[in-house]
Structure formats: structure tokens, C-alpha cells
Amino acid sequence: MTLAKTAVASFDVDAQKSFTPLCPNELPVAGGDRIGAELNYMASLAGHRIGSKDAHTPHAPWVVAQHSEMLQPTGLAHADVTWVSHCVPGTEGFTLLDELPSPYDYDYFIWKGVEPDLHPYGACFHDLHDKLSTGVIEYLKAQGVARVIVGGLALDYCVKTTALQLLKAGLQVVLHLPACRSISEEGGVQAVNELLKAGAVISSTREELAAMAAR
């Protein structure tokens, strides 16, 4: 059965400059600045375009001064490990990649991590326990969306978690690898394996994605 375009959504997860070499003092992901065209291609196959951004105060309790201090347990319920400051509203790192629309031009947009003690990875919930919905799952279901094409930054954290949340909600997920980059190669491989196990399908080229989007 072929899906109507209106039943397909694309999801640009945290495609912000903070996660690219354009902001080397934040959380640069190698190649993170090269995914804009692939995210736009995803959107060309979908009837709805969804986006998300991290939006963090530099004074959050999980913020550390040096990269060497990252990934240490915080003891906080909804911010598991430490990170350097990133995606601060009003800074260059907070902005989306230049190739992408403004948040206003998306059909639905999420800002996450605004509360200082909440540092979620997935874009579907504001917390790590999947309690406080951002409303995106409800939006997708209200619009009759059945399949979501996912890409963004970084694959091994926010992209993976968002995709898993969508799958848990009963939506079909296509992960478009050319529209993703991971913090580590090992983390990227692990993320793909987790998503395959959870029921996602993976596209490695535009041709594969075009075939999968409406199938």
C-alpha cells in the first residue's frame, strides 16, 4: 500500500550550528554542517516538516567549563551527564543550519531543555522519563501521519532518542543516514543497531529514501 504524502512527515532534529565545526568550542560533530541539503530532500518527500532545537541557559546545573569534564554523572533526575554550554538562545550556536527554514516556517517546532534542570535528548518529551509531552506525537497523529523520516544531530543522542520515542508511539520511522552525523563512529553504529532492533528502517541514499518514504 502506498502512503499519501500527507501521511509522511520529516523531522529535523537539532540541526543547529552548535553541533557543527562552525562552533568549535561547543559540541562540534564532524560533518554536522553538511546535512542541510539532505534534510531538505527529506522534507520534499513529506507533507509535514517538523523541527526541534536545544535551548539551554549557560547556567544550567549540568554545564561544565571544559570538554574534559563532560559525560560525568550529575545526580540530577532529568539531566544525566555533564556537557559544556551549547545552544544558548541568542548565540550563533543556537541557530539552525543556513540551508534550513526558520523555525516559523516549519509545520511544528519544538524547543527543548529550556528548564535549567531538564536536559532531554529526544524531542518528543521535555524530560528523561517521557512524562511531559512536547506535543509533537499528538500533532503527528492528529494530522494522520503514519511514517516519519528522521535526520539531524547527533545520531547517537538526540536523533536516536527521538526516533525511539516515535517508534514507541506507534509511528513508522525511516532514519535517513546521509542527513545524520554522530559524535562517535561507535555511537553511530550502536544507534543504528538499536533503531533497527526497535523496528526502524534505514536509508543510505536518496534513491532508497524515495522508495521507502511512500511504500
Q: How many CB atoms lie within 10 A of CB 193?
A: 10
Read off the pLDDT band of 1 (50, 70, 90): low
User: Model confidence over 170-194: pLDDT tens digits?
Assistant: 999 999 999 999 999 999 999 999 9
Task: Supply the angle between the helices 206-213 and 36-44 in degrees, to the nearest 10.
Answer: 30
Q: What is the mean pLDDT of the chain?
A: 97
pLDDT at 173: 98
Q: What is the pLDDT of residue 74?
A: 97
Angstrom CA distances, 113 to 147, 168, 185, 193, stand at 26, 21, 25, 27
Mean pLDDT of 66-91: 97
> Tell me, what's the pLDDT at 215?
81
What grid cell was written down for 205? 541514499
- pLDDT tens for 97-148 read 999 999 999 999 999 999 999 999 999 999 999 999 999 999 999 999 999 9
Q: Quick one: average pLDDT of 85-97?
A: 98
Which residue type does 178 have? P
Nearest to 34 by CA among 106, 98, 123: 98
The x, y and z cell numbers of residue 125, run together, are 518529551
Round to whole Å and give the CA distance between 150 and 50.
9
Instruction: State what percent of residues in the chain have pLDDT above 90.
Output: 97
Q: Does the pLDDT at position 85 exceed 90?
A: yes
